[in-house]
Every structure is written in C-alpha cells, then in structure tokens.
Amino acid sequence: MAVHFINPNKTSSFINVLNSDPEFKIAARYMTKDVCIEVGKTKCIVKFRDGVITQMKSENAFADPWDFAIRGSVDAWEKFLQPIPPRFYDGIFGGMIRGNFVLEGDTVSAFSHFWAVTRMLDIFRELQNK
Amino acid sequence: MAKFDPIEGRYVYLTIQGVKYRVYYEESGQGIPIICQHSAGSQGLEWRHMLTDPEIISKYQVIVADLPYHGRSLPPESVQWWKEEYKLTKSFFIDFQIELSRALGLERPVYIGTATGGFLALNLALEHPDEFRAVIGVEAAKHAGTATLDTFDHPNIGNDYKRANAMYFSAPANPEKYRRAITWVSMLAAPPVTKGDMNYYFIEHDLTGKTQQIDTSRCAVYFLTGEYDPTSTVEDTMELAKEVKGSKFTEMKGMSHAGMAENPVLFKKYLMPILNEIASK
C-alpha cells in the first residue's frame, strides 16, 4: 500500500482539504511550526503558518529544518492509515507508548499543538481511504 | 412533560486523613450497592450511562462520586491547597472509598473503577477485603511503567493536548459521539489534577510481588481490559489475573481505556455477566 500523504502529486489536494476542514481550522489556530512526518526514510515537512498549512514537502526534504518530528516505519504508517487501525497504531500517543512511533525535537511545541497534529493525521487517513 | 434522568445528586461531608471534604456524588437505583470510580483527570460523568441504565438500576444501587479536586468536589476549605502541588496518594484514594462507603451506610458494596480507579481495585482487595464483596478492575495492571508527567501541567501546553490524547484512548470503531464526549470531559479537569492523579497511577501504584496475597475468597476480583488500551494492555492484565488466584479476566474486544464511556452498550455486555455472578453469591 502506498502512503498517499508523501506522494508529491497529491500534496496540493491534501493541503486544500486540511485547510478547509472545520475542526482542523480550530485545532491549528496560532500554530506556526514546521513538522516532520517521517515514513521510513522519507521525510514530509509540513509548514504551518498562523494556523494554515502553507506547504507539504516530501521531495528533497532531507535537509529541511523542523521543530518536531514524528517518525515511524512504512509498516507502522500503513497500519495507522487503515480505516480501522489495529491496536497500538490507532493513535500517535498510544503508538509512542508501545514504541511504534517516535516523537523528537521540541516536544513542548508538539504537545501544545497536539490537537492540530492528530487531526491532520486523521485527515491523512480519511484521504488515504477515499 | 419534561424528561428527567433517574439520577439524584447531592453532597456528603467526608473527613479523610483529618481533613473535611464536601464531596459531590450521584446515585440511582436500588439493590446491591456499586461504587463506581472515575479515572485520572476526569470525574463521575464517565459513569453517566450506568447511572441511567434501566436494567442495572433495577437491581443495583449505583453510586458515583467526584473525588476531591475533581468535578463538583472542590478542594477543601480548611487547607491552603494552593501552596502545595496536588498529588493523589494511594492512602488517600483508599481512605476515600472506605469513608464514602461508611458515610452512605453501604453494606459491603461492589467496587468498580477504571484506569486509575481500576488500579485501586487491587489495593482495596488486598488491604480491605472485608469492606467490599467484590472489586472490578477495569484496565488494571500491577504497575503502569514510567512516564513523563510534566506535559499534563505545563504553562505552554493547554487543554488541546488533553482532548487530543483522550480521543485516542478510546477505540477507533466506537461511536464518535461518545469518543468526543470523553475528550470534553478530559478538558473539564484542572491541569494540576490530571498530573497529580498520575502520581498514584505511574508512581505509587506498584503491586509487584504482592498480588498473590489477594484473597479472592474474602473479596471476589474481576478484571476487564480493552483490546486497544496502550497503557494497561490485555497482556498486562492477563499476567495480573494469573497471579491473583481465583480472579476472572475478560478481554473487551473493540474497546480501549474508557470502556463505560466510549461504548456503554458494548461495555454492559461485558459487565452484566460479572454483576449477575456477584448477585448470585
């Protein structure tokens, strides 16, 4: 299964859906951070500016800076993106507790914007299965 | 004609470890008393479905209190609580249940608690087996492992963190209306309370080496754990149940950390055989 949110051809549609989602708009308020979502060896840098996603970059992003990163194997993300994920892959926090995902960097910022991040990842799942 | 829930709410004064607390509790039904304990950083609202279930309240007296500092139970007036960090201790948590039961005149009630409250079921069975006819530990384990508690009460981390976290402590296929309600209830707790409750959950609760002392002939012990719970896993509780001789364990498929609140219909399916067994003794 291909992970859609790291597909450069799908980036603009993902950004449109995210920025127009009512819950995401509330959850991402005030957020100005660069978030790295790492799928195996592929990095996807999501740039938030004043609560709006301005860029998702997964090509040639290996040297781009970020504030915090969520890392998981390809297998872990594929499980996470299933319509009904298996246990310990259904949420990032629980996945971190069980060692399936890793959070690194400015963790205070990550947790202060955790609602925005988790809503974004849920939308990734919704679009993966559309 | 207005519709009313069968719940009655009132305050009772409890003196615990020398301090008087004004404690809010709700009750409904008649029959064998059941004390229902909420989880960390939460309040009695978690048990609202059990308080209104016609089948349950036709046979049982369901009692749900807000721990001091939680829900409608304010911090005590006689203590300068703002000068110290709030921490839930094991001894306070145990004494609260005993004092509540005695103040309400309950005769060997059933105790059921979830998560933090589920851990306490073990302490009660171990230290006060004659006060309770049975305990039901929901999401129980010997020990929760280690965790960083500061994120639960940090000036730069707001309630968004708790709501996002709480969403994923319910299983993904359960009704969204209930999962979202859990996130709301989690935000109702004062941030110091969530962190302080974790003092018992992550630090003080450790029954390693003590579980075999629990005498289930004096106090029956049951365990219910959700398939998806990442903190107290099914495997954790199975290990625990093997050590507590005479206890009974049921895995709740399709459930996570907050069974009675995330899917009350499914939770009842798992709970009723236990309650019926307790009632038949």
Per-residue model confidence as pLDDT tens digits over B61-94: 999 999 999 999 999 999 999 999 999 999 999 9
Among chain B residues, CA nearest to A80? B172
- Residue A130 — very low, low, confident or very high, per pLDDT cuts 50/70/90? very high
pLDDT at B148 over 80: no
Among B156, B167, B230, whose Cβ lies nearest the Cβ of A118? B167
| Residue in A114, A123, A125 to test binding to B, most B beta-carbons within 10 Å | A114
Give B34-66 pLDDT, tens digit per residue: 999 999 999 999 999 999 999 999 999 999 999
% of chain B with per-residue pLDDT over 70? 100
Q: How many CB pairs under 8 A join A and B?
A: 63
Look at A87 and B230 and tell me if their CB atoms are within 8 Å: yes
Tell me the pLDDT band of B164, cut-offs 50, 70 and 90: very high
pTM: 0.97
Closest CA–CA distance from residue A53 to any residue of chain B (Å): 18
Q: Identify the contact set of chain A against chain B, taking CB-CB distances under 8 A.
A: 27, 84-85, 87-88, 90-95, 97-98, 107-109, 111-119
Cα dihedral B74, B80, B84, B88 in deg (nearest 10): -40
Residues A90, B160: C-beta atoms closer than 8 Å: no
Please count the other Cβ atoms lying within 10 Å of the Cβ belonging to residue B275: 22
pLDDT band at B145, cuts 50/70/90?
confident
Q: Is A4-128 CATH 3.40.50.720?
A: no
Give domain limits for chain A: 4-128
Would you say residue A8 has pLDDT above 90?
Answer: yes
Instruction: Give the pLDDT of residue B192.
Output: 95
The domains of chain B, with CATH numbers, are: 8-280 (3.40.50.1820)
Are B160 and A91 within 8 A, CB to CB? no
pLDDT in tens, B219-228: 999 999 999 9
Kindly report the backbone phi and psi dihedral angles of residue A59, in degrees, each rounded to the nearest multiple of 5, phi listed first: -110, 135
Q: Decide: B230 and A94 in contact? Cβ < 8 Å.
A: yes
Instruction: Decide if A87 and B228 are in contact by the 8 Å CB cutoff.
Output: yes
| Dist. CA B154–CA B150, nearest whole Å | 6
Cα–Cα nearest to B271, from B244, B250, B247: B250
**In the beta sheet, which residues pair with residue A70?**
A37, A103
